[in-house]
Amino acid sequence: MELYISSKSHNLLSLELRYGKTVVDTVDFGFDKDLDTRLIKSIDNFMKRNRIDIHTLSAIHLPKNVDPASSAYKILATWLAAVKTVQKR
């Protein structure tokens, strides 16, 4: 299973769970502020809904259309680094 995070607009993110090329589930969520809180809660709820432990994913893909210098990208990258740190334990 792989989790794809993509940006549909400046305040709308999409989560997509894939098994190979098959899309298992998808959800969009908007945010006006507090991206970090919305992101974590949305991913947690998405994983629970699909009964998957985030640490068992084979890959997590960050959006390609978000500027790496932006705060949004840095929040996503920091979250991903935290998940990878916990996976190594």
CA distances from 56 to 16, 32, 47, 74 (A): 15, 30, 11, 23
CATH number of the domain residue 14 falls in: 3.30.420.40
Q: How far apart are CA 89 and CA 87, in angstroms?
A: 6
- Domain, as residue range, for 12: 2-87
Total number of domains constituting the chain: 1
Rounded Cα–Cα distance for residues 56 and 79 (Å): 16
pTM listed for this prediction: 0.78
What is the residue-level pLDDT of the chain in tens, covering all 89 positions?
999 998 888 788 899 999 999 999 999 988 777 778 888 888 899 999 999 988 888 888 888 888 889 888 888 888 888 888 876 55
Report which DSSP code applies to 76.
H
Q: What are phi and psi of 40, to 5 degrees?
A: -65, -45
CB 57 within 8 A of CB 50: no
63: tokens are 């959006």
